[in-house]
Structure 1
């Protein structure tokens, strides 16, 4: 049967000589379309289950959603705020997208998760398309499934943090570059990739890392490796337009922000904002990290256990990559060389977090996919898959059964620290269900089809997490329960001020709250708060962390509203304040802004 002509795809930009042919006859194409949509449904289910069932959870989600909410309410989308302060630790891309999502759906429980969900789906599509073009559609499916079976990738995709978004933009940049360098030439896709790298820069600063793909390409082109596209390298001006495309994307945010900051010449906070976001949070943070200091080999073990079960393939992929490199296969060299360069970049800095190297996962899945079917035919990989399910299932089952039967002290402490007030047994039954699902999947599919068992076990894990854990933990994790208790003490005309507060406190309140700075010393916040309260003592309350009160509040006249997010919280009116008393600063070491991102 003659092959059907290739169909144009969603991202077929430009009219370059991109080799777009996706092999297969008509029957095979129908089968592949069915398989593609089954994969899409599977991905949507895993990534989307639970959206709308919880509020933002610390550490990062509430601050980004609060900034987005303030954008919508104030109309100021250029400068994110955290209460009355400017928030300068991250560019506003995620906050823009959360605010835009809210404008569409008008529901913050849904809107705050949409950017991560769509970014993760987009990432999977991009590596599917790359796998299909560089090899075939089956390899494209394997690439997408490989990333979807990476626990850290899905865990972060189900969080409203910056990392899923920066992974998408870096992967989109890689997609455009690889389409040009391996399937091209296609200069429009090259410029598109460079533009996406710029969007990654204004998302989290590190989007430029995608451009490191040009280094292994230069090596492969000089050495005349296989699969390299024939590109007229004499057209140097076309290459230089990539830098212009990158800078143009950055300028979309940078130029309006600088002009607006300049218009506030009388306000030093805007000058500080520019210096903080352009220098301290980028070059200074990389060169002189002040937190999360680890050694140069920090990432190596994380690439094993954070990326399970994808990392089970390492014993098979490492020798196969080596054989491909010896055969001068640029399809492997470019992504693999890029992975090594990104790993070296982050390892060179003293400050390290596990999520920094998350953008590696899509390219890792891409160059694992061509060998996945062959490896699954080997007993060693199926055995490793079975051991993985036995271990994760056994650990979850063991933890759940032990906690239910022995009621250990750590279980009580965990519930107290997190302010969990629901039925404690539900947490442990949840563990038992997850563990049992892993073992049941293995019993159904057995060793011969263990890859189906792993997919089923991961699906069960994320369904339980989204449908059971989200509603169960939401009140305690999001501070919704705490702030509902606070609201119960307030009359309709009452006002509230926040001292030594966290973003989730302001976000979960049912009314506008006055704050006296977020990063200001707690003694200063307390003094300002008491002054504000004294002008209308009958209707103004102060909400505060226990340490920030010191000996300046008569606790017999204050209200203990409970323990949440590992902190004790109080509510009081002016009659509880000791006149003239100023508490000592109780500031904790600030939480890193990227504690989970």
Structure 2
């Protein structure tokens, strides 16, 4: 039987994970995939199930080579296991988020103690970007889990080892991260500061002799994980040797990795972009940074690798992603768990101060006032901003139910502040944040889903064309194909809009009485007969229309898109 203190620690961790489950799972099953990324991965996963083609993901009739297939495999598994349950596409993100929290807790308790582990995991869960990302079915939560698992294995080996199995597991997880998003290799950056600390003889760093083959085993484990997908994929592609599959190999192995890093063609940002991201999206965790710096300086004087090995890795990650011109806020999320781990011992000391609970209580109170005030203002005054948001979501009136949800979030902070009072202000702030993440999705997902998922648009299109109608998609988005109520024709996703529309008209001309084109209004050209167009409305701030066969001028050859 474990000691009483250990049982108490496990019980605290169990309650923490239960709270995390409620916060992160709130809203699952209440919505379909939302753009920009969720419908793409859900569509690819569903096509995998339907076609049995697992090595080469397809988006419609085209191969999808932007990302490796790991996330789509997991989503397809959950769809199969749950029988196509509406919330299945979010389960990978949920489990990845919970797994990341468990790993951070485990690292903290192994490197320090149970309290530090729980504080580190709480810092991650309290951070806005972490919860926001985990509540979406993107690749990044799964990638975050693999990288954190890689960090865990390497840190436990280097600081609490030697533990070669954990080291090999960490390297294997980094390889799984590579076949998830390509950047899983950053977990191995942890070995660089470890090598420096070892050469400088920092205390607490594991030193081994005559184990070169075991260290090399990490590279084998890393490559083995990648080979699980890469070898069968290359074997099949070069066995088929069609231009389509050879282009897939070229794109996913070179253009989407090395070329994208060295010569980014999207999301160009300034070198300091990620510092702004931290200030904007790592709230409230970064607010504690000024108060832990003194502890970090003391740890540096003592040459404590438990603090400075993860911190050095965080710096390397920031530098790595800051070098290319293309940057997205999501890129640095894997650095958050290691930053929280390095902060946790100092935060444990801050929690004993008298000022921190009072400041936290003040922040919770301000959040209550801001959310209630903004929601009430939008509800009662109907400003232009409120009306514009309501129009974008096609909400009736000026979006009154949405502003009630904003008010409800403020009430959640108010209740938390009233229950915990200033003496337990940190608990008040954390409870308010947690309630906000529960109230908002539960309240807004059912309200916004019809528009965000294009479910309503596709239902209207299905009704308009009648039971015998056939639908073709031009300049379409993944959510349209995912929400289609019947089999549809499509003419490629990545092709030029004019080429799609030309092929769509040829398809329509073969059966003009029954075939309709659902078209993004940006693709309408000079050959369209405007008065024949059937407007469908706006979904995700994009306007769509139906084109019957007589909505195109006979014999017309467009020379330029219609202004």
Normalising by the residue count of structure 1, what TM-score does the alignment of the two structures yield? 0.91
Q: Distance in 1 between matches of 2:179 and 2:466?
A: 43
Is the Cα contact below 8 Å between 1:522 and 1:586 reproduced in 2? no
155-164 vs 433-442, greater mean Cα deviation: 433-442
The answer (yes or no) to whether the contact 2:359–2:425 under 8 Å persists in 1 is no
Partner-residue secondary structure (3-state), 1:501:
coil
Partner of 1:451: 426
Residue 354 of structure 1 corresponds to 329
Cα deviation, 1:513-555, whole Å, max 9, x if unaligned, reads 1100111111111110111111122221110012312232223
1:357 CA displacement = 0.2
Q: Partner of 2:179: helix, strand, or coil?
A: helix
Structure 1 residues 337 and 522, CA gap change in structure 2 (3 angstroms): same
- 1:122 alignment partner in structure 2: 99
Aligned residue for 1:509, secondary structure, equals: coil
For 1:385-411, what per-residue CA distance to the aligned partner results, in whole angstroms no more than 9, with x for missing partners?
234324433332222122112211122
1:3-402 correspondence to structure 2 within 5 Å: 26-229=3-206, 231-265=207-241, 267-402=242-377
State the secondary structure of the residue aligned to 1:562.
strand
Segments ≥4 residues shifted beyond 6 Å: none
For residue 553 of structure 1, give the secondary structure of its aligned residue in structure 2: coil
Q: Which moved more, 1:299-308 or 1:74-83?
A: 299-308
- Please state whether the residue corresponding to 1:203 is helix, strand or coil: coil
TM-score under structure 2 normalisation?
A: 0.96
Say if 2:390 and 2:397, in contact at 8 Å, map to a contact too: no
Q: Aligned Cα RMSD in Å?
A: 1.8
**Which runs of no fewer than 5 residues in structure 1 stay unpaired?**
6-25, 589-597
Asked if the contact 1:197/1:209 (under 8 Å) is kept, the reply is yes
More off after superposition, 167-176 vs 279-288:
279-288
Gaps of 5+ in 2: none
Count of paired positions: 563
C-alpha separation in 2, matches of 1:204 and 1:41: 29
* CA offset digits 1:160-216 (Å, max 9, x no partner): 001101100000001111111111111111111001000101111110000010111
Check whether the contact 1:309–1:388 (CA below 8 A) recurs between aligned residues.
no
Deviation per CA, 1:412-454: give whole Å up to 9, x if none.
Answer: 2222223345871011111111122223322332322111111
Tell me how far 1:146 sits from its aligned partner.
1.1
SS of the residue corresponding to residue 541 of structure 1 reads: strand
- Give the secondary structure class of the aligned counterpart of 1:571: strand
The 3-state SS of whatever aligns with 2:325 is coil
Distance (whole Å) between structure 2 residues aligned to residue 428 and residue 584 of structure 1:
46
Counterpart-to-counterpart distance in 2, 1:439 and 1:224: 52
Distance 2:23 2:406 in 1: 18
Distance verdict in 2 for CA 1:105–1:309, change over 3 Å: same
Aligned to 1:483, what secondary structure does the other structure show?
Answer: helix
Say whether residues 1:520 and 2:495 are aligned partners: yes
Q: Is the 8 A contact 1:55 1:474 kept in 2?
A: yes
Deviation at 1:379, TM superposition (A): 3.9
- The answer to whether residue 463 in structure 2 is matched with residue 504 in structure 1 is no
- Render the CA deviation track for 1:3-42: whole Å, top value 9, x for unaligned: x76xxxxxxxxxxxxxxxxxxxx22122212211111110
Deviations along 1:337-380, one digit per CA (max 9) or x if unpaired, are: 10111111111111111110000111111122222221022244
Name which of 447, 468, 476 aligns with 2:451.
476
Of the candidates 543, 549, 557, which is equivalent to residue 574 of structure 1? 549
| CA shift in 2, pair 1:586/1:128, >3 Å | farther
Distance 1:490 1:422 in 2: 29
Give CA deviations for 1:205-228 in whole Å, capped at 9, x if unaligned.
110000010111112212222222
Which digits, 9 at most, give the CA deviation of each residue in 1:472-525, with x for residues without a partner? 111111111111111112333322110011111111111121100111111111
User: Match of 2:471, SS?
Assistant: strand
Q: Structure 1 residues 243, 291: CA separation in 2 closer, same or farther (over 3 Å shift)? A: same
Question: For the structure 1 residues 587 and 211, does the alpha-carbon distance in structure 2 shift closer, same or farther, using more than 3 Å as the test?
Answer: farther
Change (3 A) 1:450 1:583: farther
Cα distance in 1 between the residues matched to 2:561 and 2:370: 39
Query: Does residue 460 of structure 1 match 2:435?
Result: yes
